[in-house]
Amino acid sequence: MHYSLGLVVILALVCFANCKPNRVPWWQIKVAKSQGPNACIVEEVPDLSKKYYTECKYWPVRKVCGRETIVRYECCEGFKQVPGEEGCTGVKALKNVLEVSRDFGATKFVKYLEDSGLGHELTQEGTYTLFAPTDQAFESPSGQIVGMKIESFLTPGGENPVLRYHISDKKYLSKDFSGNNEIKSLQIKNYDGRQLRISKYSIGVGAI
């Protein structure tokens, strides 16, 4: 069985920060160093169901939307804990982009991909970056409009320009972006592929 090597980028608020130990209290640095290999920070905003992930272990406790965040550690994506060993030294089985999208709460978007026939294409050998809206994103007024546009093109064969606008056939990482970036979406017959704009602001917020 072949698996797609892809990066799923969830269309939600994503925060980035420079990894600067001098911004973090000494005791937090000590705790971070004790986590072992492949441990990543998860920053949560209480009562808002918002989580921000970073591979930087030296992450300062801060406020988001006026609320202090809670910082904890989890295994980085693709790794797991092994009994008796520090950190996350075990490697999880590879998943394709559809499985990863479901894990991040984009089940509705995955269903659209499967119904259009694109789901099969994305599980074949190849490299893809999928910009997948979460189920929560589809509940907003603008998300409902996008959902209706997707459904209007929803016929077997995968020739759905709205869905393909969320896919690139190249691998991208969030750290590769800075300022305003444009990448080309997946092409189809009689459709050249549109540019997808990704902005990464100096205040540390990324938008797609």
Nearest to 133 by CA among 7, 49, 4, 9: 9
For residues 180 and 182, give the distance between their C-alpha atoms in angstroms, rounded to a whole number. Answer: 7
Residue 202 has pLDDT above 60, yes or no: no
Residue 105 has pLDDT above 70, yes or no: yes
Fold of the domain built from segment(s) 4-12+93-207: FAS1 domain (2.30.180)
Runs of H (alpha helix) within the chain? 26-33, 97-103, 107-116, 118-122, 141-152, 161-164
**Backbone phi, then psi, for 42, in 5-degree steps?**
-120, 120
Task: Provide the pLDDT confidence category of residue 10 given band limits of 50, 70 and 90.
Answer: very low
For residues 10 and 104, give the distance between their C-alpha atoms in angstroms, rounded to a whole number. Answer: 7
Of all residues in the chain, what percent carry a pLDDT higher than 70?
A: 71
If one counts every other C-beta atom within 10 angstroms of the C-beta of residue 91, the result is: 11
For residues 3 and 145, give the distance between their C-alpha atoms in angstroms, rounded to a whole number. Answer: 32
pLDDT of residue 199: 75
143-188 confidence digits (pLDDT tens):
888 888 888 887 766 678 888 888 888 888 777 777 778 888 876 5
Q: Where are the domains of the chain?
A: 4-12+93-207, 15-91
Residue 207 has pLDDT above 80, yes or no: no
